[in-house]
Amino acid sequence: MAALITLAYHSGLRVGSILGLRGRDLDLDAATLTVNRTKNGDPITVALSSAALDELKRLPKAGADELVFGNRAGKPFTYMPLWKRIAEEARLPGRVFHELRHGHGYRLRRPALVSKSS
């Protein structure tokens, strides 16, 4: 779950794009991942932050056709129950996973806001 959360926050990718990643989509040596089809239909390549790269390296290596975030049956990881429990334990009940995507955008925008006011 740590890798899923870190990747979502540091990449800004939608959870569906992350859960659809296969081993062939990751290039850990180049620190990139490729989403072959985004929500709007376009492919994108994303640079991985060092934090996201470190978390992905901790996961069991997925074969080329295997899901990076797959369960034992090869289906996408069911993250919602664990996400809800994590949010509640962090005293952030009601938070949705998609907010990590917004957090990424805020994090990217924040340095520009700080430099304008300085």
Q: 2-117 sits in which CATH class?
A: mainly alpha
Backbone angles phi, psi at 90, to 5 degrees: -85, 5
pLDDT tens digits for 49-91? Answer: 999 999 999 999 999 999 999 988 888 888 888 888 888 888 8
- pLDDT category at 117 given cuts 50, 70, 90 is very low
Residue 83 CA to residue 85 CA, distance in Å, equals 5
Q: Regarding predicted confidence, which is higher, 112 or 58?
A: 58
- pLDDT category at 104 given cuts 50, 70, 90 is low
pLDDT tens digits for 71-82? Answer: 888 888 888 888
Q: How far is CA 117 from CA 41, 62, 102, 114, in A?
A: 38, 45, 22, 5
